Amino acid sequence: MLTHTQDISQPLGREIEIPPAAARVGAERAWSMGWPFHARKRVGGFRLVGTDSGWTAGAGPVVEGPTSAMLQLLTGREVALERLSGDGVAALARTVFGRTENSPS
C-alpha cells in the first residue's frame, strides 16, 4: 500500500509523506522476501541507509536517503533514484536500472 500510494501520487506532483517507521517495516519486508522483488540479489552490493529511520542493509558503496525512497528502490521503482545520494548512486543506477550518464531521469 505504501509503495502504490507513491506510484500514484508522485507522477501527479503530490507528496504524501510516509512515516519513517512505516517505511522501515516495508523496507525490512521487501529486503527479507525473495519473489517478486529479489531486493537482496538486485541491490545487495550496496550499503543502503535510511537516513530518517536508522534502517540499513547490504554492503558496498553507500546509497542513502529517506526510508520511503529505500522502499521504492527495493520494490524496483526507478523514481527512487531522484531522492537518493551517496557514492554508490551512479553505480546503482547503471547496474540496477541500466542508466548511463546521458540517460534521462
pLDDT of 69 reads: 94
Rounded mean pLDDT of the chain? 89
Give the distance, in angstroms, between the CA of residue 100 and the centroid of all CA atoms in the same chain: 18
Between CA 51 and CA 1, with CA 23 as vertex, the angle to 5 degrees is: 150
Q: Give mean pLDDT, residues 18-42.
A: 93
59 has a pLDDT exceeding 80: yes
pTM for this entry: 0.86
**CATH topology classification for 2-97:** Nonspecific Lipid-transfer Protein; Chain A (3.30.1050)
How far apart are alpha carbons 51 and 83 in whole angstroms?
11
Q: Give mean pLDDT, residues 18-47.
A: 94
104 has a pLDDT exceeding 60: no
Residues 6 or more apart whose Cβ sits within 8 Å of residue 65 = 49, 50, 51, 80, 83, 84, 85, 86
Indicate the range of 2-11, 29-38, 81-90 predicted with least confidence: 2-11
pLDDT of 3 reads: 74
17 has a pLDDT exceeding 70: yes
